[in-house]
């Protein structure tokens, strides 16, 4: 899903630096099997954000086949850690194969289950939390994730423009949840938030 004009999207992708073959393979697999991934434009943005803040501990909420996990793992130092979460053990097994081929398996901890609940099971603060869970859970992610970020850390979320539905007043469960999540981000005194209109909208919130 993308709100970008197709020509603009193609242009931006043409500017994206070359990436690992395994990432390109995941992109092909995602297209063939209709697996939602962030794609190379947002993947590069996540990687850049993680490097900008010197992230060492990252918690990814909703990881599917681990495409964005690889982008994040490539950004942390060798002794850094990225937590992968997904409710499907088949996805997790497939992702592990990709992690090994990308050479980042030693930086990734695989957790299977509900990402919102799994966050409670991992101790300590995080430098970056990336939210891409089922959309009805977004308000719960806000409540759980913000206290777990270090000051100066980032809460990043995908799909926050939801194909433009959040702006059109649609009231289905998922759209309403994303709209509430966005409201919570922008009304929080703990966060400085901007929505970047890449792909389907990416929010970046700095904990102050």
Encode pLDDT of 58-103 as tens digits: 999 999 999 999 999 999 999 999 999 999 999 999 999 999 999 9
Residue 1 lies in a domain: no
The helix/strand/coil state of 128 is strand
pLDDT over threshold 80, residue 8? yes
The verdict on residue 15 lying in a domain is: yes
> Is residue 62 one of the residues assigned to a domain?
yes
Mean pLDDT value across the chain: 97
Report how many domains make up the chain: 1
DSSP lists the bridge partners of residue 154 as 128, 206
Q: Are 61 and 33 in contact (CB under 8 A)?
A: no
Classify residue 185: in a domain, yes or no: yes
pLDDT of residue 169: 83
Give one DSSP letter per residue of 59-86, joined into a string: EEE--TTSHHHHHHHTTS-TT-EEEEEE
Longest Cα separation, the chain: 45
* Domain hosting residue 145, numbered range: 6-207
pLDDT higher than 90, residue 175: yes
Structure confidence by residue, pLDDT tens digits, 121-136: 999 999 999 999 999 9
- Let me know: does 198 contact 41? Beta carbons within 8 Å: yes
User: Is residue 33 situated within a structural domain?
Assistant: yes
Q: Please give the span between the terminal C-alpha atoms of the chain, in angstroms, as a whole number.
A: 31
Query: Which of the four pLDDT bands, split at 50, 70 and 90, describes residue 114?
Result: very high
Residue 192 in any domain: the answer is yes
Quick one: which H or E segment has residue 96?
helix 89-102
Quick: pLDDT tens for 34-69.
Answer: 999 999 999 999 999 999 999 999 999 999 999 999
Q: Quickly state the pLDDT bin for 5 (edges 50, 70, 90).
A: confident
To 5 degrees, how large is the angle CA 7–CA 9–CA 15?
105
Is residue 1 predicted with pLDDT exceeding 80?
no
What are the φ/ψ torsions at residue 105 (nearest 5 degrees)? Answer: -60, -30
Residue 193 lies in a domain: yes
177 inside domain = yes
Q: CATH no. for residue 174?
A: 3.40.50.150
Q: CA 38 to CA 31: how far, in whole Å?
A: 12
> CB burial class (10 A; 0-12, 13-18, 19+) of residue 208?
exposed
Q: What is the pLDDT of residue 31?
A: 97
DSSP H or E segment with residue 156: strand 149-158
- pTM reported for the whole predicted model: 0.96
How far apart, in whole angstroms, are the C-alpha atoms of residue 64 and residue 129?
16
Mean pLDDT of 2-16: 89
Contact 13, 40 (CB under 8 A): yes
């Amino acid at each position: 899903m993308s709100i970008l004009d197709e020509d603009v999207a193609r242009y931006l992708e043409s500017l994206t630096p070359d990436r690992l073959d395994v990432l390109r393979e995941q992109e092909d697999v995602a297209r063939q099997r209709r697996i939602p991934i962030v794609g190379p434009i947002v993947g590069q943005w996540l990687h850049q954000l993680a490097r900008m803040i010197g992230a060492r501990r990252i918690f990814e909420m909703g990881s599917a086949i681990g495409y964005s996990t690889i982008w994040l793992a490539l950004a942390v130092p060798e002794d850094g850690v990225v937590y992968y979460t997904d409710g499907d053990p088949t996805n997790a097994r497939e992702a592990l194969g990709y992690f090994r081929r990308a050479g980042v398996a030693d930086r990734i901890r695989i957790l299977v289950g509900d990402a919102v609940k799994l966050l409670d099971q991992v101790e300590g603060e995080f430098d970056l939390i990336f939210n891409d869970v089922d959309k009805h859970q977004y308000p719960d992610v806000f409540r759980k994730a913000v206290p777990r970020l270090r000051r100066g850390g980032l809460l990043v979320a995908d799909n926050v423009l939801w194909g433009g539905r959040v702006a059109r007043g649609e009231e289905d469960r998922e759209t309403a949840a994303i709209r509430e999540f966005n409201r919570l981000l922008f009304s929080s005194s703990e966060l400085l938030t901007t929505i970047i209109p890449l792909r389907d909208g990416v929010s970046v919130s700095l904990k102050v």
